Structure 1
Amino acid sequence: MKNFRLRPTFITLSAVFVAVLLLSWGVIGHERINRGAVLALPAPLQTFFYNHIDYITQESTVPDLRRNVLNDKAEPPRHYFDMENFGDVTTFPKTMEEARKKYDDKFLDKSGILPWHIQDLMTKLTKAFKDKRKNEILFIAADLGHYIADAHMPLHTSDNHDGQNTNQKGIHSLWESRLPELFVKDYKLNVSQGIYLENVDKAIWELMFDTHSLVEPLLAADKKLRTSTPENKIFVTDDNGVIVKNRYGGTLYSDEYAARFHSELNGMVEKQMKKAITVTASFWYTAWINAGKPDLSKLDANELTKRNKKFLKKDLKAFEHGKLFGLINEKE
C-alpha cells in the first residue's frame, strides 16, 4: 500500500448519497479532479502531496458532506456564485470584506460567495504551508480543490442553477453527475503541469467569467435537444408513461438522451474537468511558493517517500496517457 487509506463506511456511503444533489460534481468528478491535480503538481511539492494522494482524493467531497449530511448552514453559499445577481461586473466586490459591506447576509446566502471563499482558503493554505502544519495543509488543500472544481461547473455561476427559469429543471445533475457517471471512462484527463499564478485574485475572477460564459451554450444545447425529442425519449417512463424519479426524487433522464446531450456539448464536461485539474494544481503550487517554498520533506517518514517513489513514477506514466489509477467509477 503506497499510502494510508482512511475511508470510513460513513464517509463512503454519505458521499454516494449526496453525490446526485444539486451543486456538486459528485464523487466521480471531485475525486478525479483532486487526484489529477496531485499528478499535475511540479516537483518537489508533488512528492509531499503524492504521499497523501488517497487522503486528498477522498477528502474532495467533504464540503458536500458538511452541507448535506451535517447541515452546516454556513456551507451552501460557498459552492456557487449567481453572477447575474451582482449587476455590473465592474462593481463586483473584490474581497469578502467588501462584499459584506455592500450586501447583507440574506443576499449573500442566496447569491453565493464562491470566489471569495476560494480567496480565503488560499490565504489559509499559504499560512499552513508557511507554518509547516501538515494536517492543515492537506485538509485545506483538499477543500480548496473542491471549490475550484465547483467554480468550473457553469451552472454554479448562474441564478438559473437548475434550468428552473427556462423550463429545463434537472439539467444541473444531468450535466455534472449523470454525464461523468456514463462517460468518464472515456475521458483523457492528462493536463499540463500547474504553474505559479502572479495574481491569485485576478486568476479567480478570470476563472469565474470563463466558466460563466458556458452557461448559455450549455442551456442552448439542452433546449435544442428537448424541442426535437419526444418526452418519453428524454426521461425514463414507466408502463403508464409517467416520468420515473430516482431514489432522491430527481428526474431520471434516459441514457439515450444523456448520450445525445453529451455529444451536443462537444466535450464541455471533460474540458471543464481538465481545466479544474490544472487550476487546482496551480493554486496549491502558488500557495506553497508564496509561503516561501518551505521544505516539507521532513513532514513524512523517509521510508514512506522512498517507497512511494516507484509508485509515483508509474502513476505519472499512466497520467501522461490520461489515466488515473486507484479510482472506482461509483454509480451515483
Structure 2
Amino acid sequence: MSWGGTGHYKINSAVSLSFNQEMNQFSSWVETLADHASDADIRKQWDNNEAPKHYIDIDNYSEFISNGTIPQTLSGAISAHGSTFVYDNGILPWATITAYDSLKSCFERLDWDKAVLFASDLGHYVADGHMPLHITRNYDGDYTGNDGIHSRFESTMINTYISQITYSGDYIGEISDVNQYVFDYIYNNYQYVESVIAADDYATNINSDIYSSEYKSALWNYSKNFTILLFKNASHALTELIYTAWLQAGSPVMNPTGIDNPITEPTVVLQQNFPNPFSNSTKVQFSLNQNTKIILQVKDIQGNTVVEIINDVKSEGNYSFDINTENLSSGIYYLTLDTDKEHSVKQMILVR
C-alpha cells in the first residue's frame, strides 16, 4: 500500500489544514476520513478489480517518455494501447477521477453517509498519486538494484519518522479541469522517482544493513524535504478536490442550522467494536447521555443496510451487546449509529 496505513491516515487527517470558511462544515468528517483512509487497500484482499486502481506504471507508455504525457481518458488510453496493456500498467488517475465523480454525485443527492466514504477513497488514490513508487514501473527498485525500497520508503521510514512530518495548509480554489489536475500532479510527482532511488543509494552507502538505524536515519535525512512536500501536496489536493466536488454539486449545506453552532456534549458515543477484525460475532458498545431515538445499523461498502440492530427510543445509559454476522460474507462493513442530530460510524472487518 502506498505510504502504508500510517501515511494514508496522516494525509487524510490533514485535509482540514486547508479548509476555508465554506468548508468548516466538513470538520466533522476529519476523523472518518482518517479512519477509512486505507479502506481501498483492504478491498484488495477480496476485490480483484481493486489493485490496478492504486498505481500507474506511466514510464511504460512510450509517449510519456517522448513528450511527458499520455492519453488522459481511459477510453483514449485503451484505444491507443489496448485494454490489457492499460490495466496491467494500472489505472490510478482514472480511479481517482471516478472516486471524485462518485463524491460529486453523493453531494448532488445529499447522501452524506456515502459521500464521506467516497471522499476517504478519493484521499487514498490522491495519496497514491503522490507516492513516487506508485507511478513507475520501478515500483520496488528492481530496475536500478534497489530491491525492497518500496516498503523501506513508504512504510518503515514513514512509521519511524511520522512525528516529524508536519506541515501547514494552503489556499484552495475551484478546479476548472479535474482530469488535467489529477494528471498534472502525477506528471509532476514522477520527478521524485529518481529522488527516492538516490535516497536509497545514499543510505546504503552510509550503512548497507537496511535494518540498521544508520540506514533508516540516512534515508530520512536525504528524503525528508521532498517527502514532507509530497504529504503536504496530497492533503491539499484532497481538500481542493472535495471542495470542487461540493461546489460543482451546488454547494449543498450539510447542517441546515448553520456551521457556527457552539460545541456541545454529544448525545451518543459509539465505541469501536471488539474484536476487530472478527470472524462470527463482535461486541458493540455505545452510551447515551439522554433518552433519544437511535438507529443502529450495519452497512456494506456500498452503503446498503445489511443488518438493522436497533430502531427505537432508548433510555440514557451504557449499552453493550454482541452482534452475530454469520449470514454475511467476508469484507468491510460499517457500524452506523444515528440520532436526529448526530451520525457516528465505525469500520468493521469480517474475516471468515
Instruction: Give the TM-score normalised by structure 1.
Output: 0.73
Structure 1 position 35 matched with structure 2 position 43: no
Aligned to 2:316: none
Q: CA deviation at 1:61?
A: 0.4
Q: Are residues 1:179 and 2:135 paired? A: no
**Residue in structure 1 matched with residue 104 of structure 2 by the alignment:** 126
Q: Is the contact made by 2:57 and 2:89 (CA closer than 8 Å) also made in structure 1?
A: yes
Taking the aligned partners of 2:260 and 2:49, their CA distance within structure 1 comes to: 37
- 1:273 matched residue in structure 2: 231
Amino acid in the other structure paired with 2:37: S
* Aligned residues of 1:175 and 1:269 also touching (Cα < 8 A): no
Q: Which residue number corresponds to residue 282 of structure 1?
A: 240
Deviation at 1:204, TM superposition (A): 1.0
Residue 74 of structure 1 corresponds to which residue in structure 2? 49
Aligned to 1:160: 138
Q: Which one has the bigger strand percentage?
A: 2
Structure 1 portions without partners, runs of 5+: 1-22, 236-252, 310-332
Aligned-residue offset at 1:230 = 4.9
1:98, CA displacement in angstroms? 2.0
Cα distance between partner residues in 1 of 2:97 and 2:224: 31
Q: Determine the C-alpha separation between the residues in 2 that align with 1:306 and 1:34.
A: 25
Is the 1:51–1:304 contact (alpha carbons within 8 Å) kept by the matching residues of 2?
no
1:181 is displaced (CA, Å) by 1.0
Q: 1:139 to 1:258 in 2, by over 3 A?
A: same
| Alpha-carbon shift at residue 308 of structure 1 (Å) | 6.7
Partner of 1:84: 59
User: Could you say what secondary structure the match of 1:51 adopts?
Assistant: helix
Aligned to 2:263: 307
Alignment correspondent of 1:328: none
Amino acid of the residue matched to residue 145 of structure 2? N
Structure with higher Rg: it is 2
- CA 1:221–1:53 in 2, change beyond 3 Å: closer, same or farther? closer
Q: Which residue of 2 aligns with 1:296?
A: 254
Distance 1:303 1:221, change over 3 A: closer
Query: 1:262 matched to which residue of 2?
Result: 220
Q: Which amino acid aligns with 1:75?
A: E
In the alignment, structure 2 segments of 5+ residues that lack a partner are 266-352
1:56 aligns to what?
33
Where do 1:184-263 residues align within 5 Å?
A: 184-226=162-204, 228-231=205-208, 234-235=209-210, 253-263=211-221
8 Å CA contact retained: 2:100, 2:241: yes
Task: Note the alpha carbon deviations across 1:188-247, whole angstroms, 9 max, x for none.
Answer: 222214332122122111100111011112212222333x3453xx23xxxxxxxxxxxx
1:180 touches 1:269 (CA, 8 Å); kept in 2?
Answer: no
CA contact (8 A) 2:203 2:216 kept: no
Separation of aligned partners in 1, 2:84 and 2:261: 48
User: How far apart in 2 are the matches of 1:143 and 1:304?
Assistant: 28
Matches of 2:15 and 2:34 in 1, distance apart?
Answer: 10
* Contact 1:24–1:150 under 8 Å retained in 2: yes
Aligned 8 A contact 2:199 2:222 in 1:
yes
1:266 Cα deviation from its structure 2 partner: 4.5
Cα separation, 1, equivalents of 2:151 and 2:12:
20
Identify the residue that residue 26 of structure 1 maps to in structure 2. 4
Compare relative contact order (CA 8 Å, sep 6+) and give the higher one, 1 or 2.
Answer: 1
Give the C-alpha shift of residue 103 in structure 1.
Answer: 3.3
Deviation at 1:305, TM superposition (A): 5.8
- What's the TM-score, normalizing by structure 2? 0.69
Question: Counterparts of 2:152 and 2:75 in 1: how far apart (Å)?
Answer: 35
